[in-house]
Amino acid sequence: MREIVVPGERIGVVEEYVGAEGIFEIKGVLYSSHLGLLEKKDLEVNVKPIKRPILPVKPGEIALGEIRSADRSSFNLFLTLLLRPRVSILIPPVHANMPKRGSNIGARPSDIVIVRVESVENGIVTVTMEGAHELGVIRSICESCGSVLDRGVGYTLICRRCGKIYLDKRLSSKYGWNPFKEGLLNVRGGKENPGPFDRKI
């Protein structure tokens, strides 16, 4: 079965299909990464790009992103802002993968992170938090009560509401920084498309 799908189009759920090439998952729902042909064979689904996308990010660039979901081997992110060497809002957000390895392991969905683009190959963007001190989590939410976590000593995060302590995240040297609020950019998400710092938990 073949049909044309667009980036971000809902394909199905993980209970129905196994996503392979050109597919990403958020909270158990499979979406298309490309404009392309949807191929379904048994339980496997693929999206073959009609034309390889020209993505607005390059290896080595530093970006702001939100972790939206995770699977066994990687995190799925939406990159919303390029920070260095150029500043640019990414509209629409760029989907990226972050392998679960090294400094990346302690992250979890809903974290706002500063990452480095490792590679852009065949329409797939791979990022990492490994490297410079600015890379890492800059905003995190308590799993128990939904409050924004405060930074303690070193890499410690503390929930002032329920007292829970987190020790396993790689924190950016800029933890707590909000580029939208502090004037780097004066663009915010609207009500229908809130930015990562505007979204209510």
**187 assigned to a ligand binding site:** no
**71 assigned to a ligand binding site:** no
Distances (CA, A) of 91 to 56, 109, 128, 147: 10, 21, 21, 28
**42 assigned to a ligand binding site:** no
Q: What is the 3-state secondary structure (H, E, C) of the chain?
A: CEEEECCCCEEEECCCCEECCCEEEECCEEEECCCEEEEEECCEEEEEECCCCCCCCCCCCEEEEEEEEECCCEEEEEEEEEEECCCEEEEEEEEEEEECCHHHCCCCCCCEEEEEEEEEECCEEEEECCCCCCCEEEECECCCCCCECEECCCCCEECCCCCCEECCCCECCCCCCCCCCCCCCCCCCCCCCCCCCCCCC
What region, left, alpha or beta, does residue 198 occupy, with left being phi > 0 and alpha being psi -120 to 50 degrees? alpha
**145 assigned to a ligand binding site:** yes
Which residues are documented as binding site for Zn(2+)? 142, 145, 159, 162
Which residues are documented as binding site? 142, 145, 159, 162
